[in-house]
């Protein structure tokens, strides 16, 4: 009996001890301190969401999320790049350049930083700086066909057609089905009065992608020698993308003065009158 009482007492003391611990745990708050690794993960998750919002055209929300991601983790150049993209979308070009400079300070070997800088410089009409930024990026990533193509476009803007053609050719060698570069070679050769080569290049681009631009470019090239086919091609081009009826829009796509003149003459053809009116009305509706 004595042993039994002693045993019962010990069990009671042990139960009391653990019960008291639970009371203490209930009273004292428990704090979770995230690790640095978890913080970085969370910032990247927020950055990813910001980038997705950009894709869906929610530019202001994207910018706010990107700013939050940077506050959490200011040492990640990818987050600075996302912030810059959001700032560009919101037309905050000076801020975007500051963000890209921050990214460059963290990692100067990231080619995307220089490609993004070039994009900003083009938007604020600083072609020389845009060219320099692209060249830096291409040194890091020499097989980036899009960057090489964009550099070619800058030379096309500057009417340095030979240099532009060489860069487009380099881009095509890396990606043979890159119809945009083939098309822009056609634009350059037309300005150099090599209409026959322009025809072949536009035809080659169309064989890859039946896009409105090479269709209308080809139509303009053959408008004198084969008016019937030129009208058919122009009709198809305007149906695919009505914006090409507009002179200023074609200028944005880097069409030179000679091709513009040829296209304007073609679009005045009586057989294209209805197509031109319809294309212009579609542009008005969408604006």
pLDDT, position 4: 44
Cα 61 from chain centre = 18
Homologous superfamily of the 177-287 domain (CATH): Tetratricopeptide repeat domain (1.25.40.10)
Q: In whole angstroms, how far apart are CA 79 and each of 36, 82, 121, 138, 157?
A: 16, 5, 20, 22, 32
pLDDT, position 14: 41
pTM of the model: 0.84
Selection from 110, 53, 49, 51 nearest residue 76 by Cα? 110
pLDDT, position 31: 53
pLDDT, position 7: 47
Tokens for 22, please give them: 């639970």
pLDDT, position 207: 98
Spans of all domains in the chain: 177-287
Task: Name the H helices within 56-76.
Answer: 59-72
pLDDT tens per residue, the chain (287 residues)? 444 444 444 444 444 444 444 444 444 555 555 676 777 788 888 989 999 999 899 999 999 999 999 999 999 999 999 999 999 999 999 999 999 999 999 999 999 999 999 999 999 999 999 999 999 999 999 999 999 999 999 999 999 999 999 999 999 999 999 999 999 999 999 999 999 999 999 999 999 999 999 999 999 999 999 999 999 999 999 999 999 999 999 999 999 999 999 999 999 999 999 999 999 999 988 86
Selection from 128, 177, 137 nearest residue 157 by Cα? 128
């Amino acid at each position: 009996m004595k042993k039994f009482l002693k045993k019962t007492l010990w069990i009671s003391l042990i139960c009391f001890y653990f019960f008291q611990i639970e009371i203490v745990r209930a009273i004292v708050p428990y704090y979770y301190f995230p690790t640095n690794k978890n913080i970085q993960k969370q910032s990247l998750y927020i950055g990813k969401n910001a980038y997705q919002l950009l894709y869906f055209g929610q530019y202001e929300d994207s910018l706010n999320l990107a700013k939050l991601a940077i506050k959490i983790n200011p040492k990640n150049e990818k987050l600075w790049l996302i912030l810059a993209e959001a700032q560009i979308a919101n037309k905050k070009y000076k801020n975007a350049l500051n963000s890209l400079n921050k990214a460059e300070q963290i990692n100067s070997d990231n080619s995307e930083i220089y490609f993004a800088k070039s994009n900003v410089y083009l938007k604020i009409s600083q072609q020389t700086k845009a060219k320099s930024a692209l060249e830096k990026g291409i040194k890091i990533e020499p097989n980036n066909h899009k960057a090489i193509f964009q550099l070619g476009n800058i030379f096309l803007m500057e009417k340095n057609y030979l240099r532009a053609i060489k860069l487009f050719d380099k881009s095509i060698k890396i990606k043979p089905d890159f119809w945009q570069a083939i098309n822009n070679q056609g634009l350059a050769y037309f300005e150099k009065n090599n209409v026959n080569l322009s025809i072949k290049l536009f035809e080659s681009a169309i064989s890859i992608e039946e896009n409105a631009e090479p269709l209308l470019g080809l139509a303009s090239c053959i408008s004198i020698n084969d008016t019937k086919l030129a009208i058919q091609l122009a009709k198809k081009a305007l149906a695919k993308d009505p914006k090409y009826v507009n002179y200023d829009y074609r200028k944005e796509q880097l069409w030179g003065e000679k091709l513009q003149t040829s296209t304007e003459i073609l679009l005045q053809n009586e057989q294209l009158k209805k197509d031109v009116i319809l294309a212009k009305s579609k542009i008005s509706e969408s604006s």
